[in-house]
Structure 1
């Protein structure tokens, strides 16, 4: 089973919102074959707690405008690793240091990468052709 069209739509919107706040290493993974609880993980990095909060706010605002609200939010107070759970899409926004340490990309490396708009991938820490970067690919 692959991610639903709605899940992909929300994931791409979340990725665009994160990129609008200059998130680094924005990536979406179709985890639907591996997990029954969600379809897509969206991963993004911020350089500070302030930037992580700004990314989270932008994602929530964008998805709210699409009629989606998180069923769970974790980590907002410390803003080192914030998890926004939209059921079909889970957004992980981490400080860059934590992103490298936990390397979710490496843990989920067998999952297909969701194609994101060029506005997200251009200059956002991805290599030409949409390959994953050195964060664990």
Structure 2
């Protein structure tokens, strides 16, 4: 499965749980951690957890290994590591504080309009 297909699975799963302001940063050549960062947020602890759980469930249904999930209990910033794609699911209050989009400002954004139709 390609990195874009994995990203698409994660984006659709997050969108299914009404994740807000989905952004995908193409990290290839910028970070050794992953090829893509998916960044989004939820408006409550429960929604943040639901988004992370849906990404994990959809990944597993597509035979993808979820290498790690961190921060689930606190639900302020949950990281779901799918290998070449790392999903960052923030609580709305935390997203602006950490501002990963600005931190990785040199990373081009992937167009998600085709996935979110």
TM-score range, shorter chain: over 0.9
Query: What TM-score, normalized to structure 1?
Result: 0.80
Matched pairs, number: 117
* Alignment-derived partner of residue 30 in structure 2: 34
Post-superposition Cα deviations, 1:97-127, rounded to whole Å, max 9, x if no partner, equal 100110001111211111214463x7xxxxx
Alignment of 1:20 onto 2:36? no
Q: Structure 2: which 5+ runs fail to align?
A: none
Query: What TM-score, normalized to structure 2?
Result: 0.92
* Alignment-derived partner of residue 52 in structure 2: 56
> Aligned ranges for residues 1-137 of structure 1 at < 5 Å?
6-118=2-114, 120=116
- State the Cα RMSD in Å: 1.5
Q: Which runs of 4+ in 1 moved over 3 A?
A: none
Give, in angstroms, the shift of residue 88 of structure 1.
0.7
The CA distance in 1 between the partners of 2:33 and 2:90, in whole Å, is 21
